[in-house]
Chain A
């Protein structure tokens, strides 16, 4: 076999797309040809890295929400576009029935989604906190809270930053942070540890609907904010909206103490 004949077979070998006979032939050639072996190695590495690069691309949460909105027809999704362009889109032959069918089909689907079990970011946060406490999540510790916060923000393309608390009065400090993927959403996780119980702060783009079913809602008149508290397995969660993000604190500490902490942060802000 000549090297120019081997070229495409090397590609197919990298992809595992050869017949048994072709594989034997190319493997025999690779045994005796150093340059083709090198080409095989280089192409394998390239494929691996390309694949890895592909995996880093996931659908934005906003896209999923847009599709769900389109499914349910509950949200105008063409904001920012001229009405003319929207009309033009609807005027394309064949699209109106397709769109109507999609709405019909997926309105039903959305009902299923609404009942989808264990699909809650609040519950996922409780599990993460439990995993931190029992050592299943290994924390990479950082000695520089400011740099850690910046890194976390960079990790989500500066779309939002982790909500920060000064808990030094309780001898609690941000010791570790990471990005957690829950479904297709990115959650910035900051772990506070020190003398008291560990507190984990989850910051993400979302809404109050991310509180689990059965969460208790209460209004704090001083802060003029709605809070949602919930508990599972001895862990307490307290969720509220802070500007454009949702902040969820999870700890063994009672919700009242967590609330006092948030109040303290507000007083210092």
Chain B
């Protein structure tokens, strides 16, 4: 009986690593496509594409940026033309076994009020972002929401770093106008 092949182990590790970026991918998709269901579709497709293109990924390089680029390209292709290719509907069903394999032990317990306020802020900013042209929205989503560097964002957007910087600058001005002082009024000391 043969043991586990090195290639299988690589693939397992690769799949495991992809799974660690699900939150990041969903967050970016959520603000890019402006719709929770479509964001979920995008993330699923990104995972499938990534796993089918493992050979194109160089181990040791930046997987986060690589996945984000796949996600961005997919969301751009599929949703720029308002074309829905696929959607998933998964419900927790009675008796169905579900496991969250990535759960960690609890760290902090924000009270329900904090959670509600954060969600309200998220909703307002999401709404304001959705009114900004995509070319300015994308750098904000990638850099601010996705924590990508300018170089990584430039790689995702296939543009020079200087373009990221200028679009980010203009994009934030537009966002500030859309928020009409809401952010300033909330302060940072909540």
Contact = CB atoms under 8 A, between A and B. Distances in A.
Interface of A: 7-8, 10-12, 15, 17, 42-43, 45-71, 75, 77-81, 85-86, 88-89, 92, 95, 97-99, 101-102, 105-106, 108-109, 112-114, 116, 118-121, 124, 127-128, 131, 137, 140, 148, 151-152, 154-155, 157, 177-185, 189, 205-210, 241, 244
B160 interface: no
B27 interface: yes
Contacts of A151: 112-113, 116
A13 to B, nearest CB: 11
B10 to A, nearest CB: 10
Contacts of A55: 27, 118
Q: Which of B8, B105, B165, B187 has the most chain A CB atoms inside 10 A of its CB?
A: B105
Contacts of B104: 182-183
B89 A140 contact: no
Interface string B19-31: 1001101110011
Q: Which of A15, A148, A244 has the most chain B CB atoms inside 10 A of its CB?
A: A15
A116 B54 CA distance: 23
Given A67-B22, A209-B98, A54 B169 contact: no
B110 interface: yes
Contact of B183 (A15, A49, A112): A49
Given A12-B165, A52-B118, A121-B100, A66 B90 contact: yes
Contact of B40 (A46, A60, A152): A60
B156 interface: no
B118 A124 contact: no
Interface of B: 8, 11-12, 14-16, 19, 22-23, 25-27, 30-31, 36, 40, 43-44, 47-49, 51-54, 84-92, 94-107, 109-113, 115-116, 118-119, 121-122, 124-126, 140-141, 143-147, 149-150, 165-166, 168-169, 172, 175-176, 179, 183-184, 186-188
29 contacts: A8-B165, A45-B183, A46-B175, A49-B188, A51-B145, A53-B125, A54-B122, A54-B141, A57-B27, A58-B26, A60-B26, A61-B100, A63-B22, A67-B44, A70-B47, A77-B88, A78-B87, A78-B88, A98-B49, A105-B14, A105-B51, A109-B12, A124-B103, A155-B116, A181-B106, A182-B106, A183-B100, A184-B100, A206-B92
A154 to B, nearest CB: 6
A94 to B, nearest CB: 8
A68 B106 CA distance: 22
Contacts of B110: 178-179
A43 B183 contact: no
A81 B84 CA distance: 11
B123 to A, nearest CB: 8
Contacts of A52: 118, 121
A214 B92 CA distance: 23
Contact of B23 (A58, A152, A209): A58
A148 B112 CA distance: 9
B31 to A, nearest CB: 7
Contacts of B106: 124, 127-128, 131, 180-182
Contacts of A131: 106
Contact of B89 (A51, A79, A108, A118): A79
Those 6 A-B pairs whose CB atoms lie nearest each other, nearest first:
A183-B103, A98-B52, A54-B145, A109-B15, A113-B101, A59-B26
A101 B90 CA distance: 22
Contacts of A50: 125, 140, 144-145, 175
Nearest to A89: B86
A48 B188 contact: yes
Contacts of A61: 92, 98, 100
Contact of B88 (A51, A66, A113, A119): A66
A200 B78 CA distance: 46
B121 to A, nearest CB: 5
Nearest to A157: B119
